[in-house]
Amino acid sequence: MTETFILKSGALGTNVLTAVIKPDDGEIHKLMILLHGKMDPKISEELFYKLPEELSLEELCNKYNIMAAIPFMRNRYYISTEDYDCGKYVAHELPDSVKRRYGLPDSIEMILAGVSMGGYGAALIAAQTGAFMKIISISGAYIANDVEIGNPEVWGDLTPDRAELKDSFLYYFLPLSDLRESVERNASAAIRMFKERGENPRFAVTCGTKDWLYGRNLDFLKALDDLNIEYIFDRIDGGGHDPESFRTGLRKAVEHLNLKG
């Protein structure tokens, strides 16, 4: 069952459209916050409403007695600023609101998941806040290195000095001079915060072998390896950056984390 509501957010300074998918019956065992990918601003709200169906979330939530909450957020790779604190909203404000609204216990286990840009955001926010020890990254858009080196595949015709940059997600990665080690903006750098706090998260990472982000996901796995952070990786053979691969990846990731408790 899917329903939507508007949450007035102090952390983001705006009202946030939120979709909640809950099992038809039975006790809810886990709460999964799911972060969406980058969307075309002209049709983004329409795409947002289609997301639960595209990912077969009702079927998944019924099978594993999971409640999923998807906030409709801006195209900024979930990088926080003073007036738009993505970490505070995703890790605290949103789950607290969902728990109150649906009578969930404060102790319920939480998972942070994301698709594409949302996969990047899930890793970034989980590392920054320490609020999630189970993280799912589906075709994660780990593009910080591309941004740093000016890869035209990511930058297109834009450059750091162009005025139009302020209307682009790229603006939030600036400045480039410290991006590689920035725990505020670079997910691959931020994950060291888990170890600094003595935490042991578990990642479930999936990506299609024909996805343009496949190599970037392998680089992210190496960053996890370097820190001895536990993960399981599912390679979707022949999969691209598309809803079918996202569905398959999310199902596999949830299965892995559910079986491991």
Closest by CA position to 74, among listed 44, 108, 116, 104:
44
Half-sphere exposure of 182 (CA within 13 A, CB side): 18
Assess whether pLDDT exceeds 70 at residue 42.
no
CB neighbourhood size of 233 (10 A):
17
**Sheet containing 2-9: order of strands:** 2-9, 14-21, 66-71, 30-35, 109-115, 134-138, 202-208, 230-236
Contact 215, 169 (CB under 8 A): no
What one-letter code names the amino acid at 119?
G
Tell me: the pLDDT tens digits for 62-117? Answer: 999 999 999 999 999 999 999 999 999 999 999 999 999 999 999 999 999 999 99
Question: For residue 56, is it left (φ>0), alpha (ψ between -120 and 50) or beta?
Answer: left
Q: What is the pLDDT of residue 183?
A: 98
Q: Write the CATH number for 135.
A: 3.40.50.1820
The alpha carbon torsion through 153, 154, 155, 157 (nearest 10 deg) reads: 40
pLDDT grade for 46, boundaries at 50, 70 and 90: confident
Q: What is the DSSP letter of 84?
A: B
CB neighbourhood size of 151 (10 A):
12
Task: Report the run of H or E that residue 241 belongs to, with start and end.
Answer: none
Number of domains making up the chain = 1
CA 230 to chain CA centroid, nearest Å: 18
What is the residue range of 172's domain?
2-259
261 is written with which tokens? 């408790």
Tell me: the pLDDT tens digits for 191-233? Answer: 999 999 999 999 999 999 999 999 999 999 999 999 999 999 9
